[in-house]
Amino acid sequence: MIYVHVPFCGSFCSYCDFYSEIGSKRAYDLYADSLCEEIKRRRSEFRRSPSTLYFGGGTPSILPLHIIKRIIGALSDYAPFEELTMEANPEDIRDKGPEYVLGLKSLGVNRMSMGVQSFDDAELRRMNRRHDAAGAMEAFGILRDCGFTNISLDLIFGDSRMSESSWAETLRLAVLLHPEHISCYQLTVEGDNALARMKAEGRYTEASDEVCETQYKMLCKALGDAGYRHYEISNFALPGYEAVHNSAYWSRAPYVGLGPSAHSFDGTRRSWNSKGLGQWTSEEEILSEEDSVVETIMLSLRTAKGCDADFLKKHSIGTALDKSLSEGRLIETNGRIRIPEEYFFISDTIIKDLI
């Protein structure tokens, strides 16, 4: 597994706390130079045949095709990839058009993950997104017309200013497009972004747990009724379209993260790159056995597959496991223990009690 962080955006979303900078031709060239140098320097860390390559950000689709071609070319020793995902914003797809999209396909990109977030124009303006609902629909159509048969859409719920009717309409339109995959995240206030500053100044109040839970249940029902499998707390897929790359994260498979602020994991050691477009540096930590156990439980219980029953029984504390099983907040089948969908929303509490 290889992850490439692209630290550029055309503007900054109000809620985002990822490392990103406004792009320019000079910045793209400097970034590509440093990234290709990092690839050469870290070749010994790559498995011979990584199955996935994932461009995340930031906004990878802001990059010119020749920069993407250069990066993929530097990783050509490990191609072809089973899954090569490119994150994209609707305005890039719409404005650059079919020529750009077909160019991505020619470079081996076979999965697109598009950050739609909402189909409500007022909500998109509050998020400081650069597209509107019509633009997102148009961008999706371009991806389909160019032959992409594996498209994921990102959505956001849990904004205190979002009405139930607005959320219902976003879900209706998402289902109408019928992408192969949908990722949906609850809006959180963290870091030093515009939304955090608005909260500190008293201009924004976070949605209550009750509101967020209602919207999450609407999400689960709408996508369940449309045939999507809820295979991880925040992720839904049509059968056979579960994200290979992200699924590996949840099973704690090793991966290499390239680019500024990217993280890597080799099974026992976690490392992360510094920010900046020049020569970024790296720090690391060695995970203790206890860290690994806690991480295994936390990640596996986020999934519909759940955790190995014997492992969880061995490492859970006190009587919390028996209590959750008796209350139906955990269920055991075929040697696995998992959280049923109706309790996914309170999964953090359930997991915290266990560890």
Residue 344 confidence class, pLDDT cut points 50, 70, 90: very high
Q: Does the pLDDT value for residue 48 go beyond 80?
A: no
Q: Does the pLDDT value for residue 336 go beyond 80?
A: yes
Residue 229 confidence class, pLDDT cut points 50, 70, 90: very high
Residue 155 confidence class, pLDDT cut points 50, 70, 90: very high
The CA distance from 305 to 235, in Å, is 13
Q: 40: which residues sit within 8 A by CB, 6+ positions away?
A: 74
Contact present, 272 and 257 (Cβ < 8 Å): yes
The CA distance from 5 to 13, in Å, is 17
pLDDT at 79: 80
Q: Which domains does the chain have, with CATH numbers?
A: 2-250 (3.20.20.70), 288-355 (no CATH)
Strands 2-6 and 8-9: unpaired
Query: Residue 298 — φ and ψ, nearest 5°?
Result: -60, -45
Q: Does the pLDDT value for residue 247 go beyond 90?
A: yes
| pLDDT tens-place string over residues 172-206 | 999 999 999 999 999 888 878 888 888 888 998 89
Tokens, residue 293 = 């156990």
Contact present, 124 and 118 (Cβ < 8 Å): yes
Residue 146 confidence class, pLDDT cut points 50, 70, 90: very high
Asked which of 37-51, 104-118, 175-189 is least confident by mean pLDDT, the reply is 37-51
pLDDT at 23: 85
Tokens, residue 66 = 């020749």
Which neighbouring-strand residues pair with 338?
A: 331
279 or 332, higher pLDDT: 332
Of the candidates 9, 5, 6, 3, the residue with the CA atom closest to the CA atom of residue 193: 9
Measured CA to CA in angstroms, residue 331 lies from 29, 322, 326, 337, 340 at distances of 52, 10, 9, 6, 7
pLDDT at 50: 63
Total-model pTM: 0.94
Strands 52-57 and 83-88: parallel
For residue 90, what is the enclosing H or E element?
helix 90-106
pLDDT at 136: 96
Q: Does the pLDDT value for residue 341 go beyond 90?
A: yes
pLDDT at 94: 96
Of the candidates 267, 163, 153, the residue with the CA atom closest to the CA atom of residue 207: 163
The CA distance from 264 to 257, in Å, is 5
43 or 112, higher pLDDT: 112
The CA distance from 196 to 174, in Å, is 28
Of the candidates 303, 291, 293, 284, the residue with the CA atom closest to the CA atom of residue 344: 303
